[in-house]
Chains A and B, each alone.
Chain A
Amino acid sequence: MKNKLLTTLLSLFIILTAQAQADVEMADTMRSEGKIYVVVGIILIILIGLIVYLVLMDRKVSRLEKQLSDRQR
């Protein structure tokens, strides 16, 4: 299941990156130098960090709920 998702995502990616046309000025040099991956990496790290924080909070609330229901009984 997960593999399938990954492959579809990857193929989508390849399609999306395949086309190119150059008449309007874009940050093409940055892309060709590969520095864009640094930006992507930084953004992903922040995003993942925030999500992990959210997950931890979720688990903490679940634990609290459980404790509370135990005490009420």
Chain B
Amino acid sequence: MKNWVKILGICLLLYVHTAGLLAEVPRLNILNETVRALYFHVPMWFGMTFLFTMSVYYAVRYLRNPSPELDRKVLEYANVGTVFGILGIFTGMLWANYTWGSPWHGDPKQNGAAIALLVYLAYFVLRGSLDNQEQRARLSAVYNIFAFAAMIPLIFVIPRMTSSMHPGSGGNPGFNAYELDYRMRMVFYPAVAGWILIGLWITSLRIRLKTVEETIIDIEDEK
């Protein structure tokens, strides 16, 4: 990963965390000041989706052309994606508690996100219960692709079919207003980009660390 990408990610996050609190936001009922949580909560989901997609991409590449390096990438992208997802779900619960009245509100998007997390937790369980390294990599890649594909209708199709409390679906005029607000976009899009970049950075770091670890084990074995 190039250094300027990391610096860009840092700058974006610094900008987002200042502007996200200081900049003017639309005045909306119910949400009031908590509308700012959009800058910090939603990017977690974007980051999670992005990292999981990367994980699936590397899983496909692994199946076409197996190598332990690609398997490491699949695992680490899933790992960091899960961290983002867990942060997203907790921030979402806190926010929902104040605006919708209860931490778990049965919202389709919330349920979809929880299931996405379940898929990857099951993925880790699967990895844990296979001993042979090559077999573990192959079977978990297959499950990764299969489960991700089964999840897509759940996350992207069903929330659009039913009424959701999230903006962009169902009848929530007060919530839909900020969808088109340019002032919020100025902070929101940098926030998404910044968190994705930071997620990529952490992932690349973890991959490098794993690579070092495994070369050390190889050297020890040779001795």
Interface residues, chain A, CB within 8 Å of chain B?
Answer: 5, 9, 12-13, 16-27, 36, 39-40, 43-44, 47-48, 51, 54-55, 57-58, 61, 64-65, 68, 71-72
Q: Is the CB of B29 within 8 A of A47?
A: no
Interface size bucket, B side?
Answer: 20 to 34
B160 CB-CB contact with A under 8 Å: no
- Residues of B contacting A5 in the complex (Cβ-Cβ under 8 angstroms): 11
Q: Say whether, besides A24-B27, A24-B32, A47-B17, A61 and B212 are in contact (CB < 8 Å).
A: yes
Q: Is the CB of A68 within 8 A of B23?
A: no
Q: Say whether, besides A16-B183, A27-B33, A39-B21, A22 and B209 are in contact (CB < 8 Å).
A: no
Number of A-B contacts (CB under 8 A): 77
Q: Is the CB of B33 within 8 A of A21?
A: no
Closest chain A residue, CB of each to CB of B31: A24
B24 CB-CB contact with A under 8 Å: yes
Q: Say whether, besides A61-B212, A68-B212, A36 and B27 are in contact (CB < 8 Å).
A: no
- Residues of B contacting A17 in the complex (Cβ-Cβ under 8 angstroms): 22-24
- Residues of A contacting B24 in the complex (Cβ-Cβ under 8 angstroms): 16-20
Q: Is the CB of B208 within 8 A of A16?
A: no
Interface residues, chain B, CB within 8 Å of chain A?
Answer: 6, 10-11, 13-15, 17-19, 21-24, 27-29, 32-33, 183, 186-187, 198, 201-202, 205, 208-209, 211-212, 215-216, 219
Q: A19 to B11, alpha carbons, bound, how many Å?
A: 25
Chain A nearest CB, measured from B84 CB (Å): 14
Chain B nearest CB, measured from A2 CB (Å): 10
Q: Say whether, besides A24-B32, A44-B14, A54 and B201 are in contact (CB < 8 Å).
A: yes
Q: A9 to B218, alpha carbons, bound, how many Å?
A: 49
Chain B nearest CB, measured from A50 CB (Å): 9
